[in-house]
Amino acid sequence: MDLKSLNEVDFRNLGEAPLIVKGAIIVVIIAAILGAGYWYFIKDQLVELERGEAREGQLRVEFEEKQRRAANLPALEEQLEEMERMFASLLQLLPSTAEIPSLLVDISQTALSVGLEIELFQPRPEANRTFYAEVPIQLRVRGDYEQLAKFVSGVSAMPRIVTIHDVYIRPGSEDTGLLMDAVARTYRYLEGT
């Protein structure tokens, strides 16, 4: 069959057309059906599949991260328990509100026991912080270098936490030793925070 015979095909009566024309028409119809099926059904599903595969990758990364954290959970819980025990033991080093007056007496007794002369011992108002309160005490003591060192050492050895800040040491007047201005701070836990 040549191409001229294709021009002679009567499309109104395809039943009498040559077999090759019928086959070509069937192939075109099948291709059109497949193309339309792809366009209306499969194309959207392929886009959805790509989105699902991308989401699967994200979920896999999230899962691996959560699995890694879950694997470390017992160690982290153990660390948390240890930190809570340490926090409780450190809280015992902070004086309660009722213990502050006796702590002030202990600080002044420490100064007197090493031979210092107390010129100023003035508790200041508390300063509340996030979960604790600072209780500052303005100090001015007079004595020699060794006495000042023993005082600072004695304060640091107290059973409650007391720190010394803003230390300023200067010579006293006419052979009266050294003057030390400082701020002693103790800390109190604010309960209910």
Mean pLDDT within 162-170? 89
Nearest-angstrom CA–CA distance, 99 and 186:
11
Other CB atoms within 10 Å distance of the CB of residue 30: 10
- pLDDT given at position 176: 73
- Is 16 found in the same domain as 58? yes
Domain identity same for 56 and 101: no
17, 68: one domain: yes
Q: Can you name the residues that pair with 48 across neighbouring β-strands?
A: none
**Using the 8-state DSSP alphabet, how is residue 164 labeled?**
E
**Tens digit of pLDDT for each residue in 92-151?**
767 666 677 887 888 888 888 888 888 888 888 888 888 788 889 899 999 888 999 999
Q: Tokens in use for 172?
A: 């006293």
CB count, 10 Å around CB of 186?
A: 25
Residues 81 and 68 in one domain: yes
Q: Say if residue 104 is in the same domain as residue 66.
A: no
Q: Of 150, 128, 152, 129, which Cα lies nearest the Cα of 139? A: 152
CA separation for the pair 52, 46 (Å, rounded): 10
Given a cut of 60, is residue 2 above it in pLDDT? no
Helix (H, G, I), strand (E, B) or coil at 111: helix
Q: Which segments of the chain are extended strands (E)? A: 117-123, 127-128, 132-143, 162-171, 178-189
Q: Which domain holds residue 152?
A: 97-189
pTM for the full predicted model: 0.54
What are the pLDDT digits (tens) for 56-87?
A: 989 999 999 988 888 888 888 888 899 988 87
Q: What is the mean pLDDT of the chain?
A: 82
Which pair of tokens denotes residue 25? 């028409």
pLDDT digits (tens, 9 = 90+) for 10-61: 666 666 767 777 788 888 889 998 888 888 888 888 888 888 888 998 999 9
The structural domain count of the chain equals 2
